[in-house]
A and B are shown apart, each in its own frame.
Chain A
Amino acid sequence: MANALFNYILRLADSTIILAQRDAEWTGHGPYLEEDLALTNIALDLFGRGKALLEYAAKLEAKGRTEDDLAFFRSERQYFNAIITELPKGDYAFTMLRHAIVDTFDLLLYSALMSSTDETLKGIASKTCKEIQYHQRHSFAWIKRFGLGTEESARRVSDALEQLWPFTDDLFDQAPAEVDLINAGIIPDRSSLKPAWQNHILNLFNEVHLKPNTEAFMQSGSIKGIHTEHLGHLLAEMQALPRMYPNATW
């Protein structure tokens, strides 16, 4: 079960840092200064959560690897982030819609983890829930602005939904080894989160006249480390420095 928990923590951490990396791509490129700061701040919160999770994973593994080793010296197939987090940042409507989808999922997941029987996981979840609420308030406000804004903004957010929706099922996939963790009260059953997630997100979509294509083919694979071609490029950039100069400090 220790191994299952290690893999599960990696899964949480990977989704967090990959999304953080995509958000951080807006640093210096935000549509205007306040949003540049917003995305940078959100990315920081996520990197902080990712660091706490990877530290815990490293401790569970007890093989002398650090959180940095886990972040910088694993390749694509050893990453278990939800596929939706690795998709290129796209335009601002795409970035914000992805955030609204993931924030809503994360808020449910980490709220459930606040009653975990694992003390460390419970602590990290309690910390992170407050931050996710704050991020969700930001992403939801943007979806309303896009959806109810101009013809152009409504078209952009609708295009983003078409691209993102097929990757939403992947968030709810469960690895067979996670069943023991669920039975031990360490983690929630992901399928139990789905009705609430659908309820929240579809309410938002209704409000702004967005409609997901429910007949789209749903992608999956992240629990097996199967990804789109985009993750390799992201990791190449994120890991370049520590791989070129191992043990560099700054």
Chain B
Amino acid sequence: MISEDDVWKCLEQIPDPEIPVLNIVELGVIRKVQITNNHVTIMLTPTYSGCPAMKHMEQEIQRSLNMFKGIHLKLETVYFPPWTTSWISVEARNKLQAYGIAPPEEETERKAALWGVESKIQCPRCKQQQSKLISQFGSTACKALYQCQSCMEPFDYFKCL
């Protein structure tokens, strides 16, 4: 018999395809795992509506749960409550920073962050808080582009939503 724990352990092995230092559980996209007999239902929520990595994540989930024989796997997309960067764990934030991506600001409810009065984002390299927004949009749907005004390095910032 497969347990919820088995499923969560399996999911923790799946890296985010675009930010491989994080696994999909740390990212907060897995909302729920339900098991009734051998029917496993996993509920996912997209980070961004059009995140092209969602399809890939679904395929990886299917592949990794293949090792459990005889289960019926169902993946459901849920939109409510909407994903927020505050679901990213503290541990995951530290990993992001070590990887060179500035983690999202913590108070996601603060409208200021959405409306351009963004506080200075800390440079993940030199840790100075003198950064400048280069572009609201970056290399993937979840990132914006900043430049540190101290060490002059450009860096990715995980958008705060």
Contacts and interface: CB of A to CB of B under 8 A. Distances in A.
Contacts, number: 81
B46 A41 contact: no
Interface in B106-161: 114-116, 134-139, 141, 145, 159, 161
Given A123-B78, A126-B80, A131 B137 contact: no
**Consensus secondary structure, chain A interface:** helix
Contact of B136 (A40, A46, A47, A138): A138
Contact of A38 (B82, B83, B136): B136
A46 B81 CA distance: 19
A24 to B, nearest CB: 11
B8 interface: no
A42 B137 contact: yes
B52 interface: yes
Nearest to B49: A48
Given A34-B145, A42-B137, A124-B79, A134 B116 contact: no
B70 interface: no
A241 interface: no
B161 A41 contact: no
A52 B49 contact: yes
Contacts of B159: 134
B80 A48 contact: no
Interface string A127-138: 110110110011
A127 B138 contact: no
A130 B136 contact: no
A119 interface: yes
Interface string A114-129: 0000011011101110
29 contacts: A34-B134, A34-B135, A34-B137, A38-B135, A41-B137, A41-B138, A42-B137, A43-B50, A44-B51, A44-B52, A45-B48, A51-B49, A52-B49, A52-B79, A120-B79, A122-B80, A123-B79, A124-B79, A126-B80, A126-B82, A127-B46, A127-B80, A127-B82, A127-B83, A128-B49, A130-B114, A133-B114, A134-B161, A137-B116
Interface of A: 34-35, 37-38, 40-49, 51-52, 119-120, 122-124, 126-128, 130-131, 133-134, 137-138, 141
